[in-house]
Chain A
Amino acid sequence: MNKKGDYTIGKESLKMIVYLMLITVVSFIIISIFGVSIVKDIRTSELEQHVAVTRMLSSSNCLAYSGEERVFSGIIDLNKFSEERVQNCFSYKEREGQGLLLSLYDFNDNLLGEVETNKILVAQVPTCGLDKSDYDCYFTRKYILYDDGGEMKKGFLDFTVVTKLE
């Protein structure tokens, strides 16, 4: 190859650098465009709400009745139905991010007691149904048995769990 040819290759190499820069810029633009359109919102609020309800019903540290040797999951110990007990049943992080309202009724629909944790969050319940609400609520009524001084009685427990959406 002659001198002119060398010069030409050198010129092409310079162009390569320019092309590489161009590719880099184009790649960044493509990634940025995709990045803007990707909004991954993984909502764990429902999962957290079900965890709260399940824990209330199944853990002896929460409301589940426990005998000498075993825990009777699903059966509520009336002596455990207190705000302090329910609060201590959650970790600090859960307590901060979740509000819980429990209403315990006997089988004749008489309110036996109500327990509320994180009252600021529970107060947001009316906003839950709104389209742009920052809060997600879960409502459910569970048929339960509760231990009242050694006697097993029928009743139901209403759960309202409020979670702040991230």
Chain B
Amino acid sequence: MNKNGIIVLADINFIILTVLLLVAYIILLVQFDIANFGDKNQIIELDDGLKSSENEYLVLNYLNTEVNEFTFADMIYSWKNGGSVVWSEIESETEILFSKVYGNCYEFEIDGNNINAVIFNSDSASCIDFSVDLNEVVEICIDISEYDNKFENYKEEECFV
């Protein structure tokens, strides 16, 4: 500070401007970080939900498929309501059906019972709720992502080895 106070005035202006500049810079940086714009060539892909609905039609077709004059829907209904159909029958008929189309590259689950799967991979599965009673629904899920991946790379034959 000098006697005239000139430097003080200049210092205050400088400090104010510096602070404003810093604040603006920090705001920009925070926005940059929050918006996650830091990655170069960031690609946002939109897909999944509809893939799931595609395969729901597949499960619907399965339920409407006839086996010995009964549909799979009838068989599951009978099994869950104490009828003559037992689980092993549904399991074997389902395996015959899907192994013909997807080889061993599919996973299927009915009400927690796995077919062609040790542990059902629910991450990429498509499921529907099938009503077997007024108060009870069973969840039927299918996952054909393994087949689709091989199909994409022209390696679907590997599913039928």
Q: A residues bordering B, Cβ < 8 Å?
A: 4-5, 8-9, 12, 15-16, 19, 23, 26-27, 30-31, 34, 37-44, 46-47, 50-51, 53-54, 57-58, 73-75, 107, 129, 137-145, 152, 154, 156, 158
Contact = CB atoms under 8 A, between A and B. Distances in A.
B44 A40 contact: yes
B117 interface: no
Contacts of B47: 46-47, 50
A27 B24 CA distance: 9
Interface stretch (B56-64, B73-81, B82-90, B129-137): B56-64
Nearest to B154: A139
Given A39-B40, A137-B152, A46 B45 contact: yes
Contact of A8 (B4, B51, B54, B57): B4
Interface residues of B, number: 48
B20 A23 contact: yes
A142 B51 CA distance: 11
A27 B17 CA distance: 13
A98 B101 CA distance: 26
Contact of B37 (A34, A41, A75): A34
Contacts of B151: 139-141, 158
Contacts of A8: 4, 6, 9
A107 B100 CA distance: 8
Given A46-B46, A57-B54, A75 B64 contact: yes
Given A31-B28, A129-B153, 6 more contacts: A8-B6, A8-B9, A44-B46, A74-B60, A140-B54, A144-B61
A41 B53 contact: no
A156 B97 CA distance: 11
Given A9-B9, A137-B152, A152 B66 contact: yes
Nearest to A138: B152
A140 B102 CA distance: 11
Contacts of B100: 107
B30 interface: no
Contacts of B50: 47, 50-51, 53-54
Contact of A12 (B9, B38, B41, B148): B9
A61 B62 CA distance: 23
Interface in B123-143: none
Nearest to A129: B153
A47 B46 contact: yes
